[in-house]
Amino acid sequence: MSELTLTEALKEHSRTTHDAVDNLVMSMEPFASHDNYRKFLQAQYEFHSTVNPIYHDTKLASQIEGLAELARLDRVKSDMKDLQVEPFGKDVETPTFTDAEAIGWLYCVEGSNVGAAILYKEAGKIDLSDEFGASHLAAHADGRMPHWRATKAKINALPLSDDDKQSAMKGADDAFAYFKRVIRKVYGTQA
Ligand code: HEM
């Protein structure tokens, strides 16, 4: 592959898709009201439930220090409890991924915490915070960017073949596409 690091290649590869997902999510006005935000939480619940096994994969956990603690499903659940939201529960998909594809999914979900800085600020406008309703969007204790840089370094240190890296690209594509489908489903839109 090129001389880019894996996460640089993933970023370049995903740029257009990322921006489409960003636009789609924002067009649903998830921070216009608590009800709109409840739907966003239902989408996050599905996404984080799907990726949760990656954080608890024994092999990956032996290669990425502190992996299990990065999982945000419990925070999403606690935010749902605060706002009395139940899982959407209908037409639930169970995407599957190979070990190498899972790296792309991990990139997608961990990177989403970078953009979450913007979402967290929006959530504040409807009185949500890390203490109530928006804990899964809060910054990591190390700071959002330092934490992301450290996570990227761990991903880039994984022993992956060129084929594995291609599979990781596919994994990232699949993860973004899946998130889009989940958003469309919970908001009931064709957009
Ligand atoms: C909903 C509105 C969203 C906004 C406003 C947003 C915004 C951003 C911003 C500003 C960045 C930093 C870009 C940079 O450092 O150059 C970013 C990074 C990222 N976002 Fe989003 N994002 C959103 C949603 C998402 C979602 C839903 C996902 C995944 C499902 C996602 C995945 C990522 C990834 C993987 C990165 C890291 C890019 C990299 O540095 O490699 N974002 N986002």
Q: Does ligand 1 lie within 6 Å of residue 114's CB atom?
A: yes
CA triple 109-171-148, angle to 5 deg? 30
19 C-alpha to ligand 1 centroid (Å)? 8
Q: Does ligand 1 lie within 6 Å of residue 115's CB atom?
A: yes
Q: How many domains does the chain have?
A: 1
Q: Does ligand 1 lie within 6 Å of residue 155's CB atom?
A: no
Tell whether 162 is covered by a domain: yes
Tell whether 113 is covered by a domain: yes
Tell whether 177 is covered by a domain: yes
Residue 179 sits in a domain whose CATH number is: 1.20.910.10
Residue that has been written with the tokens 């990139």 in this structure: 107
Tell whether 38 is covered by a domain: yes
Its pTM stands at 0.96
Q: Does ligand 1 lie within 6 Å of residue 179's CB atom?
A: yes
Helix (H, G, I), strand (E, B) or coil at 174: helix
pLDDT in tens, the chain (191 residues): 558 999 999 999 999 999 999 999 999 999 999 999 999 999 999 999 999 999 999 999 999 999 999 999 999 999 999 999 999 999 999 999 999 999 999 999 999 999 999 999 999 999 999 999 999 999 999 999 999 999 999 999 999 999 999 999 999 999 999 999 999 999 999 87
Q: Does ligand 1 lie within 6 Å of residue 173's CB atom?
A: no
Tell whether 43 is covered by a domain: yes
Q: Integer distance in angstroms from the first to the last C-alpha of the chain? A: 35
Tell whether 4 is covered by a domain: no
| Atom of ligand 1 lying closest to residue 11 CA | 41
Tell whether 2 is covered by a domain: no
Q: Does ligand 1 lie within 6 Å of residue 80's CB atom?
A: no
111 C-alpha to ligand 1 centroid (Å)? 6
Which residues constitute the domain of residue 51?
A: 11-187
69 C-alpha to ligand 1 centroid (Å)? 21
How many residues are there in the chain?
191
**Token pair recorded at residue 37:** 């935000």
Tell whether 134 is covered by a domain: yes
Residue that has been written with the tokens 């590869």 in this structure: 13
Task: Give exposure, 84-104, as e/b (b: 16+ Cβ within 10 Å).
Answer: ebeebeeeeeebebeebbbbb
Helix (H, G, I), strand (E, B) or coil at 105: helix
